[in-house]
Amino acid sequence: MADCIFCRIARHEVPSSVVYEDEHVIAFMDIMPAKKGHLLVVPKAHYGALFDVPAPLLAKTAAVLQRCARGVRRGLTAEGLNVLQSNGSAAGQVVDHVHFHIIPRRLGDGLRLDWDHETYAPNEMASFAAKIKEGCEAERSDA
Ligand code: AMP
Ligand code: ZN
C-alpha cells in the first residue's frame, strides 16, 4: 500500500534500523520502544491484521519471529521477552499492517503488562468456549 509506513519501510523508502530481512519478512527496531531493543517483525506484503495473512506467509513470519527472539535473547542477553501482537483499534493496534512486537525483558524492569483478571459466573466459561469453538469450526484454515 502506497501510504502505509510499514510497506514503505519494507520497500526501503523511509529509513529504519533493519536487523533481519529476507524476500518475505523484515524485522526492524521500533522507534518508540517499550524497552530498549524493542523490535518489530513484519511480513513485507500488506495485510491489515492477523486474520488476513495467508497461512504460508504467517508460517514464514513465525520462523523469523523465533529467529529474532533468539537473536534478542543472545544479542542483548535478555532474561526474557514478550511477543505482542494487536488486531484492531479496540486492541490497541495503531499501524494497520500486521506486525509482531518483540520486547526484551529483565527481572524487575518495571514494564507493566499486568491486568486485573475477570471472573466467570458459573457455566460462563463453558458458554464462551462453546461460542469460540463454533467460530473456529466456521472458519476454514488456509494452511
Ligand atoms: P501497534 O500499536 O501494535 O500498532 O504498534 C505500532 C508500533 O509501530 C509502535 O510501537 C510504534 O512505535 C511503531 N512505529 C511506528 N512508526 C514506526 C517507524 N517509522 N519505525 C519503527 N517503528 C515504528
Ligand atoms: Zn502496509
Domain for residue 51, yes or no?
yes
Q: Beta 100-105 vs 25-29: how paired, if at all?
A: unpaired
Whether the per-residue pLDDT at 142 is higher than 80: the answer is no
User: pLDDT tens across 39-77, in order?
Assistant: 999 999 999 999 999 999 999 999 999 999 999 999 999
Domain for residue 138, yes or no?
no
Domain for residue 56, yes or no?
yes
Domain for residue 137, yes or no?
no
pLDDT (0 to 100) of residue 8:
98
Distances (CA, A) of 22 to 60, 63, 81, 86, 133: 10, 12, 23, 23, 36
User: Which amino acids bring their CB within 6 angstroms of ligand 1?
Assistant: 5, 16, 30-32, 40, 86, 92-95
Domain for residue 140, yes or no?
no
Domain for residue 69, yes or no?
yes
- SS3 (DSSP) at 19: strand
- Looking at ligand 1, which atom is closest to the CA of residue 94? 4
How many domains, the chain? 1
Q: Where are the alpha helices (DSSP H) in the chain?
A: 5-10, 55-75, 124-138
Domain for residue 134, yes or no?
no
* Catalytic-labelled residue, pool 97, 99, 101, 117: 99
Domain for residue 70, yes or no?
yes
Domain span at residue 46 reads: 5-112
CATH code of the domain in which 91 resides: 3.30.428.10
